[in-house]
């Protein structure tokens, strides 16, 4: 049997324990490059789907509330992960232009949440207390694990060219999300946030990437018109429902 | 809430802050000086700041907006004695773009337009505001603005809100309007490059010009400290007769007399969405709106008479 679709599902979103930023860069960028060049040698491939990240948009105080797919260049790329994702997207775009017979789909995922997942956001909400930036209540948008999977399936069944945002409908305030997870808020003044969560990491608590810190401060939403219209997947869970379901599980 | 009550409240709030309390706690202490009704409201607000709530995808929380309304209502009725004309001209349904002049450093004019519509319109609804970007980098203020219906001043936000059939208010003068010196009061600044007209055309939303008179006198800006502004990352750092001399008390606006006039709507739907790329039409409409607001400002200035009594 010959393969006609390749799904790249192993972009690392957060360095695990003992993984350096360099190693993460190697896996994400160099790994994707090698995968793409391998695809070039397989003549039966008709579609490539990459599970990328909405982290490419960053988290910005002055951002539009909902990023459309064309808005990747509104703000500078501030974190290492953002630059890595942008690099992968650039290669992928070039690759797509050079191979017009292959449909290249870049799925930009918001952070996923669900009872069977261990992601940065679920680890964050499972801590004894959730650190937040004092005085900030950003709008957070997630995607439920079922919708995350179904979107991937939809992209395989009906490949479309270019980037597609994947997220749940609507947003939720960070404080409300933490309350729904039955955790106390731990507001920390902006300048002290880095040192305090850094100290937490040294005593064995979860570490926070720069991207995640910016998300906790400014939040991020994406527009899912393309997901619903072109991929034809209407998310079953809103962000609030996804959090509620996770908290109940 | 009587004026001595308000002063006592501000004094106690100041004392609380000076003795190192967090803002919410200091507000709680200060509330002791307020009459019962206002105290209840304030306590309710503080509870809800921590409590659970329903909001939409923009973070607008209608319950919260209703809760803080009495405070703005007090400013509207007693402090600025706002007179409103033409609220019925604002369409009751569907997408509408309100375009207003802007003055007075803090966006009090936006809140008064909101109260005016809620009080005077036959079918009231909460308007959404495009708020100067740097406010969203500030603690508390950013969270508060979102809850009462403010969004980042981005054309994408304005378009999406209009497509969802909201009532959207914009202040095209932006920081040029709020930061102008007292001597230039009521002379409208440039209306950007007409971005708001492009958005109205693309969404097919009628434009309602709004003239606000009174907002220019609440903080007579005498000078500017650019070095301080740079250090704070603010667009400007005003010097008024009370600010920064009186500290936080300097942020109490002066009780000028206000008038708000909603002018005849300008229809845009018949041009079609493609007209948004017609520079000539966009500039022409921009000028028309700006001229309408300017004339209405002059007319209401005459009708208002003396600024403070």
Predicted local distance difference test score (pLDDT) of residue A198: 82
Distance CA B128, CA B131 (A): 9
Predicted local distance difference test score (pLDDT) of residue B2: 45
Residue B266: exposed, middle, or buried by beta-carbon count in 10 A (0-12, 13-18, 19+)?
middle
Residue A72 has pLDDT above 50, yes or no: yes
DSSP state string for B235-292: S--EE-SSTTTTGGGGGSPP----EEEE---B--GGG-GGGGG-HHHHHHHHHHHHHH
Check residues B193 and A47 and name the one with the higher pLDDT. A47
Predicted local distance difference test score (pLDDT) of residue B29: 59
Residue B9 has pLDDT above 70, yes or no: no
pLDDT band of B179, cuts 50, 70, 90: confident
Is the separation of the CB atoms in B169 and B127 below 8 Å?
Answer: yes
| Interchain CB distance below 8 Å, A61 and B142 | yes
Distance CA A144, CA B8 (A): 50
Among A140, A71, A146, A154, residue whose Cα is nearest residue A107:
A154
| Interchain CB distance below 8 Å, A135 and B143 | yes
Which of B49, B51, B59 is the best residue to mutate to test the A interface, defined by the most A CB atoms within 10 Å of its own CB? B59
Is the separation of the CB atoms in B80 and B256 below 8 Å?
Answer: yes
Tokens read off for A101: 């017979």
For A219, the enclosing helix (H) or strand (E) is: strand A219-220
Check residues B38 and A50 and name the one with the higher pLDDT. A50
When mean pLDDT is compared across B182-191, B194-203, B232-241, the lowest value belongs to B232-241
Q: Provide, rounded to the nearest whole percent, the portion of chain A with pLDDT above 70.
A: 98
Residue A46 has pLDDT above 50, yes or no: yes
Q: Which of the residue ranges B53-62, B121-130, B182-191 has the most confident prediction, judged by mean pLDDT?
A: B121-130
Residues 145-164 on B with a CB inside 8 Å of A are 146, 151-152, 154, 156-157, 160
Say what angle helices B36-50 and B23-30 make with each other, to 10 degrees.
160
Question: Which tens digit of pLDDT belongs to each residue from B78-102?
Answer: 999 999 999 999 998 899 999 999 8
Check residues A161 and B190 and name the one with the higher pLDDT. A161
Instruction: Find where tokens 């667009």 sit.
Output: B235
Check residues A125 and B38 and name the one with the higher pLDDT. A125
Question: Which tens digit of pLDDT belongs to each residue from A171-194?
Answer: 999 999 998 888 999 999 988 888
pLDDT band of A161, cuts 50, 70, 90: very high
| Interchain CB distance below 8 Å, A71 and B156 | yes
- Who contacts A126 (Cβ-Cβ below 8 Å, separation ≥6)? A181
Distance CA B117, CA B277 (A): 32
- The alpha carbon of residue A210 is apart from the nearest alpha carbon of chain B, in Å, by 17
Is the separation of the CB atoms in A137 and A175 below 8 Å?
Answer: yes
pTM: 0.84
Predicted local distance difference test score (pLDDT) of residue B173: 85
Is the Cα torsion angle A107, A112, A115, A118 positive or negative in sign?
positive
Exposure string of B207-238, with b = 16+ CB inside 10 Å and e = fewer, is bbbbbbbbbbbbbbbeeeeeeeeeeeebebbb
On the CB side of B179, CA atoms within 13 Å amount to: 13
Tokens read off for B208: 């309602």
Distance CA B70, CA B66 (A): 8
Which of B23, B57, B134, B168 is the best residue to mutate to test the A interface, defined by the most A CB atoms within 10 Å of its own CB? B57
| Interchain CB distance below 8 Å, B59 and A171 | yes
Tokens read off for B176: 């040029």
Residue A28 has pLDDT above 70, yes or no: yes
Interval B218-225 mean pLDDT: 80
Check residues B49 and A220 and name the one with the higher pLDDT. A220
- Pairing type for strands B207-213 and B259-262 reads antiparallel
- Who contacts B265 (Cβ-Cβ below 8 Å, separation ≥6)? B89, B90, B91, B96, B206, B207, B208
Tokens read off for A187: 């507001």
Distance CA A216, CA A138 (A): 7
Size of interface A-B (CB pairs under 8 A): 69
Question: Which tens digit of pLDDT belongs to each residue from A104-115?
Answer: 999 999 999 999
Is the separation of the CB atoms in A10 and A109 below 8 Å?
Answer: no
| Interchain CB distance below 8 Å, B133 and A62 | yes
For A174, the enclosing helix (H) or strand (E) is: helix A174-180
Residue B1 has pLDDT above 60, yes or no: no
Distance CA B197, CA B281 (A): 9
- Pairing type for strands B150-152 and B207-213 reads unpaired
Residues in A closer than 8 angstroms to B46, CB to CB, are: none
Distance CA A82, CA A34 (A): 20
């Amino acid at each position: 049997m010959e393969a006609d679709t390749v799904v790249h599902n192993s972009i690392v979103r957060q360095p695990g324990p003992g993984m350096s930023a360099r190693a993460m860069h190697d896996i994400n960028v160099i790994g994707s490059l090698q995968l793409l060049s391998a695809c070039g040698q397989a003549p039966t491939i008709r579609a490539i789907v990459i599970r990328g990240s909405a982290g490419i948009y960053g988290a910005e105080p002055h951002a539009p509330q909902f990023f459309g797919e064309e808005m990747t260049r509104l703000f500078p790329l501030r974190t290492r992960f953002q630059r890595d994702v942008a690099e992968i997207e650039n290669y992928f775009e070039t690759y797509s232009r050079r191979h017009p017979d292959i449909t290249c789909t870049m799925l930009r995922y918001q952070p996923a949440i669900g009872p069977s997942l261990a992601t940065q956001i679920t680890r964050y909400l499972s801590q004894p207390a959730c650190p937040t930036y004092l005085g900030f209540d950003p709008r957070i948008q997630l995607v439920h694990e079922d919708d995350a999977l179904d979107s991937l399936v939809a992209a395989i069944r009906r490949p479309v060219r270019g980037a597609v945002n994947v997220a749940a409908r609507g947003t939720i305030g960070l404080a409300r999300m933490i309350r729904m997870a039955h955790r106390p808020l731990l507001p920390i003044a902006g300048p002290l946030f880095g040192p305090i969560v850094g100290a937490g990491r040294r005593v064995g608590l979860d570490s926070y990437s720069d991207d995640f810190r910016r998300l906790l401060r400014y939040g991020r939403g994406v527009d899912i018109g393309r997901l619903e219209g072109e991929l034809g997947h209407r998310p079953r869970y809103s962000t609030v429902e996804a959090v509620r379901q996770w908290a109940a599980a | 809430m009587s004026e001595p009550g308000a002063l006592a409240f501000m004094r106690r709030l100041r004392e609380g802050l000076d003795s190192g309390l967090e803002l919410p706690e200091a507000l709680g202490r200060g509330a002791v000086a307020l009459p019962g009704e206002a105290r209840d409201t304030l306590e309710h607000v503080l509870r809800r700041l921590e409590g659970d709530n329903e909001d939409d995808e923009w973070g607008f929380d209608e319950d919260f907006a209703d809760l803080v309304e009495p405070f703005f209502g007090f400013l509207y009725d007693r402090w600025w004695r706002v007179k409103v004309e033409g609220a019925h001209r604002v369409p009751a349904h569907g997408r509408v773009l309100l375009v207003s002049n802007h003055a007075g450093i803090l966006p009090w004019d936006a809140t008064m337009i909101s109260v005016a519509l809620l009080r005077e319109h036959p079918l009231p609804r909460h308007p959404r505001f495009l708020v100067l970007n740097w406010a969203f980098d500030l603690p508390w203020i950013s969270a508060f603005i979102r809850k009462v219906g403010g969004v980042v001043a981005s054309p994408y936000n304005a378009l999406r809100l209009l497509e969802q059939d909201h009532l959207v208010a914009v202040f095209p003068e932006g920081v040029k309007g709020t930061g102008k010196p007292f001597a230039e009061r009521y002379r409208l600044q440039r209306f950007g490059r007409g971005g708001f007209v492009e958005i109205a055309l693309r969404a097919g939303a009628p434009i309602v010009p709004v003239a606000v008179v009174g907002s220019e006198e609440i903080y007579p800006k005498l000078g500017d400290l650019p070095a301080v502004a740079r250090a704070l990352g603010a667009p400007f750092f005003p010097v008024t007769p009370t600010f920064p001399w009186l500290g936080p008390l300097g942020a109490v606006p002066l009780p000028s007399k206000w008038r708000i006039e909603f002018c005849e709507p300008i229809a845009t739907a018949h041009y079609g969405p493609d007209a948004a790329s017609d520079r000539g039409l966009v500039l022409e409409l921009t000028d028309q709106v700006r001229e309408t607001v300017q004339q209405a400002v002059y007319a209401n200035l005459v009708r208002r008479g003396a600024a403070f009594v």
